[in-house]
């Protein structure tokens, strides 16, 4: 579907009931919902098309939501879980699945209850949201940057914006929905504008930091691990020597750092700890299905089957993926061409300890450019959870990543956008 790029001249001149700022997941859900209620809606987007972040999410596949039962779903929300409860109860993950299927998008539930479009194309989700807006009569202006929200006393009065030609304009309205996203993936238009607007209107902004972001390490073997993906790994995050979080699943390595679902899920705690100046490390159990004694027996069987003159690297190849063989030999300080017959009990014990606890000191984290979402944002205690309306400015509603709401990877963050966006779009007083 081609983008509908309506020009200013085509916009009717009578006042709008509501202006939505930001045509992302939350913004399009809010705009379409408000228009479906019979409201005259103007949607302003500073980029040249809607849903830029949606279109690249899930590596271009878009993990729409997660199909876990409600209680399990909410356990994956990292902060302000109770605040989200009302919005989620009114429009939950099942409602999201029904919504997109009604919009003509076939969905599949995959491993971990993650929900994706059957086509494997994130564009289908973004276009379905756009169609929802257009079909319900939302007027859209692209390449239009909002420069401020106008208030009269403690009420919304309108917005100021700069159109695509660079001219300053003002549009009056009594309700504004702020859905500008966070600061992750800034190339998609998420540059933190909404935080500035909210702060100017008296809202408190909780400190912003990357969430679901790769972790950087000073480990000497890291440069040899780029491109490696490990499955069925149990990872434990330690802060100042204390285990604070454990995850199981896939972990990967790239020039950005340690990533993959496991690393992203623990990154929220790692980032906060690093900001606080604490010592952080990540240990990987590469043989999580085996305890140390069972692993020792496995190694004994493998060595018994090998020729005495076979190399240590051949033993490692039987235990770990090939790309990990040389880095692991270096980590153990055992020459890869050492004969199996020359392995000492101390070296075998060291191998077992490393396989059960390969440790990476975490020195830093990847910036917002690589973060899936933003932690922090507008303080939720300053927003009515039953309406998404500001408790400080009448007629100002907020939804999506601009709020201090974030969750684990797996479809949870987009569901937050859909749930809060829909509730905001109902424009409850």
* Residue 44 CB contacts under 8 Å (≥ 6 apart), including other chains: 19, 20, 21, 22, 23, 141, 144, 146, 159, 161
Tell me: do 277 and 199 sit in the same domain: no
| Domain termination site, one of 366, 382, 402 | 366
Distances (CA, A) of 142 to 4, 44, 74: 9, 6, 34
| Domain termination site, one of 317, 346, 366 | 366
| Domain termination site, one of 344, 366, 388 | 366
349 neighbors 356 (Cβ within 8 angstroms): no
- 1 inside domain: no
- 129 inside domain: yes
* Number of alpha helices (DSSP H) and beta strands (DSSP E) in the chain: 13, 19
With a cut of 70, which residues of the chain have pLDDT below it? 1-13
Tell me: do 218 and 206 sit in the same domain: no
Tell me: do 288 and 350 sit in the same domain: yes
Tell which residue, 29, 116, 113, has the closest CA to residue 70.
113
64 neighbors 98 (Cβ within 8 angstroms): no
Count up the domains in the chain and report the number.
Answer: 2
Q: Half-sphere exposure (CA, 13 Å, Cβ side) for 309?
A: 0
**What is the per-residue pLDDT for 266?**
96
**What is the per-residue pLDDT for 186?**
86
Say how far apart CA 177 and CA 20 lie, in whole Å. 5
- 2 inside domain: no
Convert the pLDDT of each residue in 98-149 to its tens digit: 999 999 999 999 999 999 999 999 999 999 999 999 999 999 999 999 999 9
Tell me: do 105 and 185 sit in the same domain: yes
Query: Which strands, in side-by-side order, build the sheet including 139-141?
Result: 139-141, 41-44, 18-21, 176-178, 396-398
- The residue with tokens 């899936």 is 372
Q: 155 — phi, psi (to 5°)?
A: -125, 150
**What is the per-residue pLDDT for 3?**
45
CATH of the domain at 97: 3.50.50.60
The residue segments making up the domain with residue 335 are 214-366
Partners of 390 in beta bridges: 383
- 110 inside domain: yes
- 147 inside domain: yes
19 neighbors 180 (Cβ within 8 angstroms): no
The tokens describing 173, both together, are: 């309205």
CATH of the domain at 260: 1.10.8.50
What is the sign of the dihedral through the CA atoms of 198, 203, 209 and 212?
A: negative
- 57 inside domain: yes
- 252 inside domain: yes
Tell me: do 297 and 352 sit in the same domain: yes
- 3 inside domain: no
DSSP state of 373: E
What is the sign of the dihedral through the CA atoms of 44, 46, 51 and 53?
A: negative
32 neighbors 138 (Cβ within 8 angstroms): yes
Tell me: do 201 and 234 sit in the same domain: no
Say how far apart CA 412 and CA 168 lie, in whole Å. 37
Tell me: do 70 and 19 sit in the same domain: yes
Tell me: do 149 and 252 sit in the same domain: no
Tell me: do 139 and 179 sit in the same domain: yes
Tell me: do 292 and 238 sit in the same domain: yes
**What is the per-residue pLDDT for 13?**
63
Three-class secondary structure of residue 276 per DSSP: coil
Tell me: do 132 and 236 sit in the same domain: no
Tell me: do 193 and 61 sit in the same domain: yes
Say how far apart CA 79 and CA 378 lie, in whole Å. 12
Q: At what angle do helices 25-36 and 122-135 cross, to 10 degrees?
A: 30
């Amino acid at each position: 579907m081609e983008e509908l790029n309506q020009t200013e001249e085509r916009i009717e001149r009578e006042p709008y009931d509501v202006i939505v700022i930001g045509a992302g997941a939350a913004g399009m859900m809010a705009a379409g919902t408000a228009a479906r209620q019979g409201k005259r809606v103007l949607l302003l987007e500073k980029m040249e098309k809607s849903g830029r972040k949606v279109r690249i999410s899930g590596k271009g596949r878009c993990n729409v939501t997660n199909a876990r039962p409600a209680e399990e779903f909410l356990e994956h929300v990292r902060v302000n879980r109770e605040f989200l409860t009302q919005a989620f109860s009114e429009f939950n993950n099942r409602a999201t699945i029904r919504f997109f299927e009604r919009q003509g998008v076939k969905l599949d539930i995959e491993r971990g209850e993650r929900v994706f479009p059957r086509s494997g194309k994130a564009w289908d989700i973004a276009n379905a949201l756009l169609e929802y807006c257009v079909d319900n009569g939302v007027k859209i202006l692209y390449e239009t940057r909002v420069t401020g929200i106008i208030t009269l006393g403690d009420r919304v009065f309108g917005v100021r914006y700069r159109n695509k030609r660079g001219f300053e304009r003002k549009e009056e309205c009594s309700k504004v929905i702020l859905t500008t996203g966070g600061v992750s993936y800034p190339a998609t238009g998420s540059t933190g504008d909404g935080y500035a607007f909210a702060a100017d209107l008296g809202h408190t902004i909780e400190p912003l930091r990357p969430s679901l972001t790769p972790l950087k390490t000073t480990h000497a073997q890291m440069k040899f691990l780029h491109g490696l993906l490990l499955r069925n790994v149990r990872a434990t995050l330690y802060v100042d020597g204390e285990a604070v979080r454990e995850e199981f699943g896939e972990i990967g390595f790239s020039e950005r750092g340690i990533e993959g679902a496991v690393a992203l899920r623990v990154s929220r705690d790692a980032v906060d700890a690093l900001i606080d100046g604490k010592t952080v490390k990540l240990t990987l159990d590469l043989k999580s299905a085996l305890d140390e004694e069972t692993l020792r027996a496995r190694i004994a069987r493998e060595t018994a089957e090998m020729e005495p003159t076979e190399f240590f690297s051949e033993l490692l190849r039987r235990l770990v993926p090939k790309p990990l063989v040389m880095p692991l030999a270096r980590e153990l300080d055992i020459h890869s061409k050492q004969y199996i017959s020359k392995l000492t009990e101390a070296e075998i014990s060291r191998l077992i300890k490393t396989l059960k606890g390969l440790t990476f000191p975490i020195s830093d984290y990847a910036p917002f450019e690589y973060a899936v979402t933003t932690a922090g944002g507008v303080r939720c205690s300053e927003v009515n959870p039953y309406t998404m309306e500001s408790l400080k400015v009448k007629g100002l509603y907020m939804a999506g990543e601009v709020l201090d709401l974030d969750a684990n990877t797996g479809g949870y963050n987009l569901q937050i956008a859909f749930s809060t966006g829909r509730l905001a779009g109902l424009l409850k007083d």
